[in-house]
């Protein structure tokens, strides 16, 4: 295992970190890396009126995005992001792929400055 990833310093966050409809998503992974990058994965956007899952974007049910935080934190403990400009992106259609993709994205960005 690569010690450069600093797994012990990764912070797992409980709140959704991106997407305007995130409150209606049943799938959420969010990780703050020691270098200030925020990795956010959401999915399973559920339309409670029609009882169906909706795509969260073009031909995808899950997505992972990367953002740069500013070093400050909200009252809830989540990191602040000045501009939600995605630095990286991956799309998936299955929850296992989304989970694995989130971890891979974390590893990739943990090694960046």
Q: Please give the pLDDT value at position 14.
A: 83
pLDDT in tens, 16-60: 787 778 888 999 999 999 999 999 999 999 999 999 999 999 999
pLDDT band at 2 (very low <50, low <70, confident <90, very high): low
Helix locations, the chain, DSSP H: 95-110
Distance in angstroms (rounded) separating the CA atoms of residues 78 and 111: 22
Degrees to nearest 5, angle at CA 56 with 51 and 11: 110
Sign of CA pseudo-dihedral 13, 18, 23, 25: negative
Three-state DSSP at 41 gives strand
The pTM is what? 0.90
């Amino acid at each position: 295992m690569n010690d450069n990833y600093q797994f012990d310093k990764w912070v797992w966050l409980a709140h959704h970190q991106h997407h305007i409809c995130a409150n209606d998503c049943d799938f959420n992974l969010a990780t703050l890396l020691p270098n200030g990058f925020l990795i956010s994965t959401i999915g399973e956007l559920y339309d409670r009126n029609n009882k169906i899952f909706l795509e969260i974007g073009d031909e995808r049910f899950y997505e992972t995005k990367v953002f740069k935080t500013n070093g400050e934190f909200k009252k809830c403990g989540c990191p602040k992001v000045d501009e939600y400009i995605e630095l990286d992106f991956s799309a998936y259609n299955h929850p296992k792929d989304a989970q694995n993709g989130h971890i891979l994205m974390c590893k990739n960005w943990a090694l960046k400055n």
